[in-house]
Homo-oligomer: A and B are copies of this chain.
């Protein structure tokens, strides 16, 4: 393999197989390779580490910050875990072991334990000199220093900028901000991202239930979290299990499995449409024209349901809509659903009557058929919108992720009830004429 620069390798990395990656990395110039290694995902870092000779591993593992090392350790098999931990220096090993105790998607699993700690009675000049010494070590950031009492409880925060702007002899207790926004170590990462975005923070302290400071989460970790959570939600909304790896790196078998699960479940649900239809077999035999509009009717219900469920799930993920808002949302969505239903009904009515006038497509009862389609559309679109908007609330109330109310799931639910609505309307409107 020819020798690649780190930029070239960065570009073609996603399309390389694992053995190719290992080989390319081993052929890289030493000068570029450490930055390159640090930019890789934890999964890639783990693969490269395990492919290395024993003697070389230590060098690379020790390059990682404790939170990144913990991510890598979590990804190797349990048998190799202690070997990898053994490569770390004593301090880091203790930190990594502590981090491993947290769920990967909680604040505790995301935080770095290496933050700058200062005492309230230090002067500004002492703090600056202290941070200057610390800058040579591997702190996650030196731009915020956290003021802790002797029990490690968080009392305040000073930014480097505050220190520079303040008079040198002042004690930190007079300079620090005491209204510190912090998060609990057990808070899930999506909520941490929301708190940080809301307050425009670059780093947020993580505390345990007694208020002891355990670490900091920095905003660059949050960008990854936000991207990953959005990807998960989008894939669930698309009607499949979320992939854990980039599309091109997901093995075919795993991808088919993750798609087939939901697709089969939806198919089994959709089989109910065949049962629903067979209840109306006589009506279809008498008025075949009714069958012509079945796809139109059910897809309109499905589309309006998809819209509503997508809107509500995203608003929930962003914290714009809470569980208690269901009643307000329901009133809004009934109005929206009725308006949308009326618009589609008008379009359907015009289409059928124009086609009838131009091509005589629907026989002598065209007006009655048009009325059936239009009335059904109003009912189905309103119902689809209502069901689509309320389902995320029900799922969340039951304790599950609302994003599981995927758009195809809502569409399937609405398909079955849509058919019942359509043929019931037909039985009333067309009684005595076609039926």
Contacts and interface: CB of A to CB of B under 8 A. Distances in A.
Interface stretch (A17-25, A82-90, A104-112, A311-319): A311-319
A223 B222 contact: yes
Given A132-B164, A315-B248, A296 B281 contact: no
A72 interface: no
A200 B38 contact: yes
Interface in A325-340: 325, 328, 332, 335-336, 339-340
A11 to B, nearest CB: 10
A381 B289 CA distance: 27
Interface stretch (A50-58, A94-102, A146-154, A229-237): A229-237
B321 A248 contact: yes
A268 interface: yes
A232 to B, nearest CB: 10
Interface residues of A, dominant DSSP = helix
A26 interface: no
A173 B428 CA distance: 86
Contact of A263 (B131, B264, B266, B307): B307
Given A311-B235, A318-B246, A407-B407, A230 B219 contact: no
A201 B328 CA distance: 41
Given A201-B220, A274-B295, 12 more contacts: A10-B198, A135-B160, A223-B223, A226-B230, A238-B407, A239-B306, A246-B315, A270-B295, A271-B348, A285-B288, A294-B295, A307-B408
28 contacts: A38-B200, A39-B200, A132-B164, A196-B220, A202-B202, A230-B234, A233-B234, A237-B238, A238-B307, A239-B306, A247-B314, A248-B325, A262-B307, A263-B340, A263-B381, A267-B300, A267-B348, A268-B347, A271-B351, A273-B296, A274-B295, A274-B296, A278-B292, A278-B361, A299-B411, A299-B415, A303-B411, A306-B408
